[in-house]
C-alpha cells in the first residue's frame, strides 16, 4: 500500500503541471465614443481664421489624394458647394505575433471619414468602423468580453484600430493647418 502511495506521489511530482497557464490580462484601449450612439467615433472641430471654405476644401482634397494609395477608390463624395468630402478608407489588421514572432493577417477594417468645411472652420468625424467579414461586423463587438465569440485578439485589433485612426486624424489636422503653397514667379 505504501508502495502504491509512493508511486502515485512520484508520478504526480514528476509530471509537468497540466494547470492552465495564467491568462493574459485583457487591456482595452481608451477609444472615443459618440455620446448619442455609444459607438466608437473620432471627431473634432478646428478653427481656421481668415480661411475660406473653398481653401479648406482644397487642402483636405489634396491631403486625401496624397494620404491614400488609391484616392479615386476611397473618395466617395466630393462636394465643394456643400463643403463636404466623404472617404471610405480601410486598413489592415494583424494577429498578435505567435511564440516564434510570426505575424499573420487578420483582415481589413473599413471606416468612413467625413470632413465638412465653412469659412474659418472645419470638422471631421471617423465612424462606421467594420471588420470586413461575410456580414457586417462592427468593431464595437470586439469590446464585449462576455460574448461567446470573443477572442483574445480583439483587444489587439482595437489597439491597432486606435493607432491607425489617430494617424489619420493627426495627418489630416497637420495638412489642414498648412499654409497655401506659394506660387512661383510668373515668367
Mean pLDDT score of the chain, rounded to an integer?
85
Return d(Cα 50, Cα 77) in angstroms, integer: 26
Q: Per-residue pLDDT averaged across 78-88, rounded?
A: 97
Place of cell 477572442: 151
Q: How confident is the model over 72-98, as a mean pLDDT?
A: 96
| Residue 68 pLDDT > 90 | yes
Mean pLDDT for the stretch of residues 26-48: 92
Backbone dihedral angles phi then psi of residue 47, each to the nearest 5 degrees: -85, 145
pTM tops 0.85, yes or no: no
Q: How far is CA 146 from the centre of its chain?
A: 22
The strand pairing partners of 149, in sequence order, are none
Given a cut of 90, whether residue 1 has pLDDT beyond it is no
How do 75-79 and 42-47 pair as beta strands?
unpaired
Query: Class of the 28-176 domain?
Result: alpha beta
Residue 60 has pLDDT above 80, yes or no: yes
Amino acid at each position: 500500500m505504501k508502495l502504491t502511495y509512493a508511486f502515485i506521489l512520484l508520478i504526480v511530482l514528476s509530471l509537468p503541471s497540466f494547470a492552465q497557464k495564467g491568462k493574459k490580462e485583457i487591456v482595452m484601449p481608451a477609444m472615443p465614443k459618440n455620446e448619442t450612439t455609444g459607438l466608437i467615433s473620432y471627431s473634432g472641430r478646428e478653427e481656421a481664421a481668415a480661411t475660406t471654405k473653398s481653401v479648406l476644401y482644397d487642402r483636405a482634397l489634396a491631403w486625401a489624394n496624397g494620404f491614400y494609395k488609391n484616392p479615386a477608390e476611397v473618395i466617395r463624395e466630393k462636394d465643394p458647394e456643400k463643403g463636404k468630402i466623404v472617404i471610405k478608407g480601410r486598413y489592415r489588421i494583424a494577429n498578435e505575433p505567435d511564440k516564434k514572432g510570426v505575424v499573420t493577417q487578420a483582415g481589413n477594417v473599413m471606416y468612413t471619414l467625413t470632413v465638412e468645411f465653412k469659412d474659418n472652420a472645419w470638422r471631421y468625424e471617423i465612424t462606421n468602423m467594420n471588420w470586413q467579414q461575410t456580414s457586417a461586423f462592427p468593431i464595437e463587438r470586439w469590446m464585449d468580453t462576455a460574448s461567446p465569440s470573443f477572442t483574445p485578439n480583439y483587444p489587439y485589433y482595437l489597439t491597432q484600430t486606435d493607432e491607425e485612426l489617430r494617424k489619420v486624424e493627426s495627418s489630416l489636422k497637420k495638412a489642414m493647418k498648412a499654409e497655401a503653397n506659394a506660387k512661383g514667379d510668373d515668367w
